[in-house]
Structure 1
Amino acid sequence: MLQTIRENSQGIIAKVIVGLIIVTFALFGVESLIGLANSEKAPAEVNGEEISAVDLQRETELQRRQILAQMGENADPAAIDENLLRRQVLDALVSQEIRLQSAEEQGLYLSESMIDQMIVATPEFQVDGQFDPAQFESALRAVGMTPLMYRELLRKEQLIGQERMAYQLSAFSTPTQVRQLLALDRQTRDIAWVQLSLEEVEAGLEISDADVKARYDEDMERFMTEPQVVLSYIELNQNDFADAEAVDEADVRAAYEQELVRFEADEERSAAHILLEAGEGDEAELRQQAESLRERILSGELTFAEAAREYSADPGSAPQGGELGYNARGVFVGPFEDALFSMEAGELSEPVRTEFGYHLIKLKDIRATEPPSFAERENEIRAELASEQAEANYVAALEQLADLSFSSADLEVPSEELGLEIQQTEPFSRAGGNSELTSNAKILRAAFSAELQDEALNSEPLELSRERAVVVRVKEQIPSRQLAFEEVKERLEAELRRERAAAALEAKADELLTALESGQALNEVSALNWSEVANMGREAESAPLEINRYAFELPRPEGEASSFGRVSLRNGDLAIVELKAVHAADVSDLDDNLVKQMGGFIANRNGQLTYQARVEALEEAAEVERN
């Protein structure tokens, strides 16, 4: 057979075929053949540029991990709508590509050396303040990226950021604009208002049974219940396996002995110090001051505490005579710690130079920590061992529960084998119930799944936490039904009462407004109590927040006439608001620093809005094809 192949490969046809393959490779590369077998379209194209499936998959996974991290230790991956997440990520990638294309069209550029500098300066890629290649690669692997992928991502983000910052930093504001804004912000208004109570109108309404019945009859579909289920379940709890009293005394002793082996007595030293702070002065002069002060202390001219209170630049310890208390290694900066732990008790150090200046250190006392006794540690060790054993037993029981619940036709067998009580939930719908169990997303999905409802199976063990799991089974299915009139009568009556009261209140408010706008006086229009506030500023607490904000929306009064309007309050009441006068603020003597600060804020805001408007225009004009 091999000989036949060899003979045929020498023919003219075979040579022509091989020649064509070589030419294809040379002109178009291997991808020309591979592409024939993989013609799947890119997820999206933006102005002819593809967004690759790899990018979409990577970004979707990153977003998915972030969502799970936000959910906490009880995160349920099944709770994430993968299709919705994919659409959101694709939209974000499309927007990013549009902004990137805009930045590149402006000729913006980021060199490879700049990218290198950014990577090296990233704290997440450093160990002890220095860039570490292993840490860099490890951090990227954790999020599913390679160094090249990260460099490309960094390049895109920085280019987009360059264009955005160009808009923000080139925006400006004038002093006149700043003064106008501050004048508006400091403007005050004279207002009056009256509050019309919805509750009072409701109390005076009569709703007949016929009206309620008519509402029920016209919208009966609203009053169908949701299908519900009742679950039987058994719960496995790790805490039930914990028994500190059952832990063997020998095991506790052995664990304590291991602790003693690991224990290292930490030496603690009680010290005081005087800091002569480094400034712009001469270094030699500063050291001479420290040495002179040391000699004065040693000669008895000053006590250490007196010298600390008078000369130390450390505000935390100087008032206490330089006292630092007992401390172990790892608390102070290197030179200070080295000197402190090389001294004898009662010794006063030579001047010690640190980044803060020169220190004089006095070592007052040395003490070594002792290991705790067996009696002190016994209960805690016993509890730890019990917890470890409980976890092991729980894991074993969880595996057994999974096997038993899968092979059993009900919960009786796993209940008897594991000594678990069969419990029952209250009826609940897909929206969930009021208990921890019936409001859990995992339980809701299982309870309304086809396996449990149609096939009457036990669920697999569903973990409520790391220490608790349940197996559930549908005990009863309650189909949806039409609620009887009597069951919803009270709710419908309250609904009608609220609707009619709101309509009556609006009619009353319109009537008052019409009378006021026609020129009638307040006391002629209504006997209600009007409240008044003069010179009210924005966000002032002298009027309800809704009234305050609405008062600054009303048009400036013309001549002697007031401006009127009505506003809804959060409790359903309405308020009639009168704007009597507007008082301009005097901003002629504003502090120049305030004007400059506000100008920067306004300019930055203008730049953000301008860039956002550009992005919106680009997105509207872009040719985007989603596949």
Structure 2
Amino acid sequence: MFFDAVRSNKRVVQIFLALITLPFAFWGVDSYVRNSGAGTDLASVGDSKITMPQFDQAWRAQQDRMRQVLGTNFRPESMNNPEAKLAVLNALIDQRLLLLDAAKDRLGAGDDRLREVISKIPALQDNGQFSMARYQAALAAQGMSQPQFEAQMRQDLTLQQLVSAIGDTGIVSKTVTAVMLQIQSEVRQVAELRFAAEQFADQVKIDPVAAQKYYEENTKRFEIPEQTKAEYVVLSLDTLLDKAKVSDTEVAAWYESHKDRYQQAEERRASHILILTNGDGDKEKAKARAEEVLKEIQKSPARFAELAKQFSQDPGSAEKGGDLGFFARGTMVKAFEDAVFKARENEISGLVQSEFGYHIIKLTEIKAGKQRPLAEVRAEIEDELKRQAASRQFAEAAEVFSNMVYEQPDSLQPAAERFKLKIQQSGWLLRNPAPEALAALGQLGNPKVLASLFSDDSLKNKRNTEAVEIAPNTLLAARVIEHRPASTRPFDTVKAGIEAALKAQEAAVLARKAGEARLRELQQGSEDNAVWVLARNVSRADSGQVQGAALKAIFNADVQKLPAYVGAEVDGGNYMLYKIVKVSHPESVDDGRRKALQREYGTTLAQQDFAAYLAGLRQRYKININKSALESKER
């Protein structure tokens, strides 16, 4: 949703909000602190209730979120279980706990902060300026009122204050980081000795009845799943959009009634010299330095660009003589912006202080605001009006389409002819394909579509399925044209494959036994006369060198005395011996890597602190969950 821009705060805050915030239109902080709603309550947190409507809203939003994340791999039935329902309810409880604690501590977002955040959401701006028209249109598209949206924003901002206060405590000392780096960066030089399964293949003898026995005990492995082919039609908003017509009169009328949307705001171009302040103790030094530079500029205004290259500490603009290009209001920090939009062309400011430091600003050019002409915005207006018209038509067409495929169940042709749709044909479809196969089915990769196609009515009577909404403003109806019931492959067709698999399995057992025997000999001091190959350096940080089991074995080895020997099974039924010949640590570690590890571990500690804080809140407030009401919810 467009208001997700408010969550552009610190990374650790984002992580915590993802843990406890469901992306739905909240009921507002006040309603969470007081009893609210009617009907059977699903839970209570202290004196505050979590009602059925609140749970339903959260449930729908969580499904939407999962659908956006997983796309065609999303299966609604995966959420229709007690564990998923309880997870959503627990997220609501965590939110409620945080908001109750915030209210107790009188935390909240004031009107000024709220206005500031909303005005900076890019989706609500027009040419860099906040647009009330866009704000109202966006709210209407989401089906929300202004008070609802602003209540949600206040809640998000309140949660951010609370979460940030806890998240900032995740601090890791340099000593701890150094120890972790020492462990991560340790390098063990190893050589390898492979006991390949294929080396023992000639020693394997398969009992003639083993393949038959395996076949009988594992018949499911040889099943050919039920399959069907289908034809289908798709009615979508885009289909109607291509056919929508908009007259010149309609375009002109829209333009006249929405002229405020096509205002191009005034833009100004400025250059600046920035002297940074890096702390309270440096402010006076920075100011004195900036005053010296200002005196130089006042002596020679024409040298502004030259002096910017020499003195400015803004790496983004210094090399360009301080040039920042054109910008509109709402783009720069307030103090800087106020100075620029009060200045006259070619005027040089005095010192302007911002949160970054001290600026010396030169206004170089003014591009006056203007009304964008109809000719320039005609294409935008036509697209918008066509989409509006298509949306209205789709609502009507969807009902007619759904009725036609139901009332004339023996063919999709009438619906196709009525809406000028192409009847498409699928390949063979499975009843329950794997997630990756489901994604490859495109529009047919919808669990509800497949369930309808494999229903008794579709398979036995070859009737049309119902019209299924496979995406917003997109309906699909299908019809079975061919069906293959599930069957089992005959033994004779799979016998050779079974025998090969059993032989490989036994060869792998022999390889492991031979490798383990040789490992015991080496660990007991037997003479090492093997031909070791492929010496390499292995570290925990670069785990791609060897497989997981082998890496674990190598770093679990006792290296007090070298060489040390370990073994591990690897892919393909092979057994690998590793000879550790050297252990070393790098003389120095990249500072960037050290800082990244410190941040990562700090985030982990902060998450633990946050979990402990939530656990403490759950102890402080009495929580009751109405499990019978939760279980009785029909999804």
Matched, 1:70 2:66: yes
What's 1:235 paired with? 234
Give the Cα separation in 1 of the matches to 2:91 and 2:235. 45
Q: Report deviation, 1:460.
A: 2.5
Partner of 1:81: 79
How do 1:352-391 and structure 2 match up within 5 A? 353-355=352-354, 356-357=357-358, 359-364=360-365, 366=367, 371=372, 374=375, 385-391=385-391
Distance 2:53 2:152 in 1: 15
- Aligned partner of residue 555 in structure 1, secondary structure: coil
> Is there any run of 5+ residues in structure 1 with no aligned partner, and where?
1-37, 101-109
Instruction: Tell me how far apart the structure 1 counterparts of residues 371 and 150 of structure 2 sit (CA, whole Å).
Output: 44
Per-residue displacement from partner, 1:378-407 (whole Å, max 9, x unpaired)?
Answer: 666555555544444443322211121222
Q: CA deviation at 1:605?
A: 6.4
Instruction: Write the distance in 1 (CA, Å) between the matches of 2:284 and 2:258.
Output: 53
> 1:425-449, CA deviations, whole angstroms, 9 ceiling, x for partnerless residues?
3333321365224432221232234
Residue by residue over 1:21-47, the C-alpha shift from the partner in whole angstroms, topping out at 9 and shown as x without a partner, is: xxxxxxxxxxxxxxxxx9x9x9899xx
Aligned residue number for residue 127 of structure 1? 115
**CA distance in structure 2 between the partners assigned to 1:468 and 1:625 by the alignment:** 38
Matched, 1:478 2:484: yes
d(CA) in 2 for partners of 1:52, 1:343: 54
Structure 2 counterpart of 1:507, which letter? K
Contact in 1 for aligned 2:267/2:367 (Cα 8 Å): yes
Worse-superposed segment, 254-263 or 484-493: 254-263
- Summarize the alignment of residues 320-399 of structure 1 with structure 2, pairs less than 5 Å apart: 320-334=320-334, 336-345=336-345, 347-351=346-350, 353-355=352-354, 356-357=357-358, 359-364=360-365, 366=367, 371=372, 374=375, 385-399=385-399
Q: After superposition, where does 1:202-601 map in structure 2 within 5 Å?
A: 212-243=211-242, 248=247, 251=250, 263-275=262-274, 280-281=283-284, 292-293=295-296, 295-297=298-300, 303-334=303-334, 336-345=336-345, 347-351=346-350, 353-355=352-354, 356-357=357-358, 359-364=360-365, 366=367, 371=372, 374=375, 385-411=385-411, 412-432=413-433, 435-449=441-455, 452-453=458-459, 457-489=463-495, 491-517=497-523, 519-523=525-529, 529-532=532-535, 538-539=540-541, 544-546=546-548, 547-556=550-559, 563-579=564-580
Determine whether 1:193 maps to 2:196. Answer: no
Letter in 2 for 1:440: N
Cα offset, 1:233, TM superposition? 2.3
Query: 1:427 and 1:343, CA in 2 relative to 1: closer, same or farther beyond 3 A?
Result: closer
Q: Output the amino acid matched with 1:554.
A: A
Q: CA deviation at 1:484?
A: 1.7
Per the alignment, do residues 575 and 208 of structure 1 end up closer, same or farther by CA in structure 2, a change over 3 Å counting?
A: same
Q: How many residues align?
A: 535
Task: Give the stretch that moved more between structures: 262-271 or 51-60.
Answer: 51-60
Code of the residue aligned with 2:65 in structure 1: it is A
Distance across 2 between alignment mates of 1:113 and 1:84: 31
Cα separation, 2, equivalents of 1:181 and 1:81: 39
**Matched position secondary structure for 2:418:** helix
Deviations 1:313-369 (A, max 9, x none): 544434333333333333344454445445544x42452634243534243465666
Structure 2 unaligned blocks of 5 or more: 1-38, 119-143, 629-635
Write the distance in 2 (CA, Å) between the matches of 1:371 and 1:625. Answer: 58
Q: Which amino acid aligns with 2:267?
A: E
User: In the TM superposition, what is the alpha-carbon distance from 1:567 to its structure 2 partner?
Assistant: 0.3
- Counterpart CA distance in 1 for 2:572 and 2:219 is 29
Q: 1:491-525 deviations in whole A, cap 9, x for unaligned?
A: 434432432232232233234334434543332xx
Q: Identify if the C-alpha distance between structure 1 residues 490 and 340 changes in structure 2 by more than 3 Å, giving closer, same or farther.
A: same
Change in CA separation of 1:379 and 1:122 when aligned onto 2, cut-off 3 Å: closer
- Counterpart CA distance in 1 for 2:194 and 2:410 is 63
RMSD across aligned C-alpha pairs, in angstroms? 5.9
Report whether the alignment pairs 1:138 with 2:136. no
1:194 Cα shift? 0.6
Larger Rg: 1
Letter in 2 for 1:84: P
3-state DSSP class of the match of 1:232? Answer: strand
Change (3 A) 1:488 1:384: farther
Structure 1 residues 256-307: Cα deviation after superposition (integer angstroms, max 9, x where no partner)? 6777785335433333344566763399978975774454136xxx633334
* Separation (CA, whole Å) in 1 of partners of 2:477 and 2:554: 60
Structure 2 length-normalised TM: 0.63
Partner SS, residue 442 of structure 2: coil
1:29-44 → structure 2 map (5 Å cutoff): none
